[in-house]
A = this chain, B = another copy of it.
């Protein structure tokens, strides 16, 4: 079960991420409407938790655009209690549910369960690149017969690389997406995980390797067989 959180208040966003984590939801967090829309359009999420008041594009705009593009992912809108925005507006735009801040974590979880149940599961089960297959629900990475289990962070790092194949993913991005924006994770954390992943690629005998772009980041590369 994958959840996208779009919320510009970093503190709240991280808190939500924390809650999701504790309940075993894989979570991505972005901090503005534009990124939110782009991430949502990737179609990999089972639920999208969307703040209304956002930089770049409001939550309303995001849902509307999402629906226009025929994306049916369940959307839960968040709004501050004193914002004079109308619940009806949100639902008209195509949102599935609506909740005012502040709220209890339990309520959030309940609503997420509710709207995700409503949908028939149409989630992609795995990501692939060259000879590698990353199972998104079991966290197993396999190549042919062999298979290894990835830890949560290994998984997240690889997932991001596989979702952006052929693009260089900046270390910064990995840090903010895997460790969270206000973490004090250091570059070496990322490096350590890249190292772990390389070891596992090697173990699997994959032709895929992780290329380093110095001072920038990493990208997947499919070496010749």
User: Which chain A residues have a beta carbon within 8 Å of chain B's beta carbons?
Assistant: 10, 31-32, 34-35, 53, 55-56, 87-88, 91, 96-98, 106-107, 110, 113-114, 117-118, 137-139, 149, 151-152, 167-168, 170, 172, 176, 181-182, 213-216, 219
Q: Tell me if A's interface is mostly helix, strand, loop or mixed.
A: mixed
Closest to A35 in B: B118
A55 touches B98 (CB 8 A): yes
Closest to A137 in B: B168
Give Cα A107 to B35, complex, Å.
18
* Contacts known (A110-B181, A113-B172); A139 close to B96, Cβ less than 8 A: no
A118 touches B34 (CB 8 A): yes
B88 touches A139 (CB 8 A): no
- CB A83 to nearest CB in B, in angstroms, measures 10
- CB A59 to nearest CB in B, in angstroms, measures 13
Give Cα A167 to B87, complex, Å.
34
Interfacial chain B residues near A215, Cβ < 8 Å: 152
